[in-house]
Amino acid sequence: MQLQEIDKAIYKQKQRKVAVVLCIIFAIIGLSLSALFRQQFGNPEGSNTWVNLSGVLLGAVITIAGFTQVKSRPYFDELRYAWNLKRQALKIQNHRHRWEKQLEEGDQTAATVLAFYHKATLQLQSLEGNDFGHADSLKREEKFIALCNEKQLDSEADKFSVDLLEDLKV
């Protein structure tokens, strides 16, 4: 996975639009199925909690299935990129202490992985409008670059590939 430049305004606009549309679709399907299930299977004298819950859960399943069918369309490119970037950053974050230990030992793979992690984190925070976390991440990246310079390691994220995550020494 390579870092890409995406327009923050377009990303936020699409993110909001997709969230609103999914919520509306889910609400319509969930409420409709709940009403239909109450009419068909409901108890006029008793509680219909399980019948309503069944309709809502089926509505969620249908909404998710529908989104799964359309998420590969070009309209979702920016959202899909950010989602994949978050996944990769979290994979690195989960073992960051181990990557940092390898970096201190002078491992170039660790430097490449952590360079990607820092750049990805900064980009995601910028896209999401997380100014507070952005400042902290900039400080961590500066410390990382200083350590790479001290160890004479390349601190460029361009060489990152998902396969490098397999190289984590246990």
Mean pLDDT of the chain: 91
Report how far residue 156's alpha carbon sits from residue 112's, in angstroms, rounded to the nearest whole number. Answer: 6
Higher pLDDT, 37 or 1: 37
- Is pLDDT at 166 greater than 90 in this prediction? no
- Which amino acid is it at 149? N
Contact predicate 7/79, CB 8 Å: no
CB half-sphere exposure, 126, CA atoms < 13 A: 14
pLDDT per position as a tens digit, 49-89: 999 999 999 999 999 999 999 999 999 999 999 999 999 99
Return the domain boundaries, the chain.
8-70, 78-167
Of the pLDDT bands very low, low, confident and very high (cuts 50, 70, 90), residue 169 is low
Contact predicate 66/25, CB 8 Å: yes
Report how far residue 123's alpha carbon sits from residue 116's, in angstroms, rounded to the nearest whole number. Answer: 10
Report how far residue 141's alpha carbon sits from residue 135's, in angstroms, rounded to the nearest whole number. Answer: 10
- Is pLDDT at 123 greater than 60 in this prediction? yes
CB half-sphere exposure, 166, CA atoms < 13 A: 3
- Is pLDDT at 12 greater than 70 in this prediction? yes
**pTM score above 0.85:** no
Average pLDDT over residues 129-158: 88
Of the pLDDT bands very low, low, confident and very high (cuts 50, 70, 90), residue 7 is very high
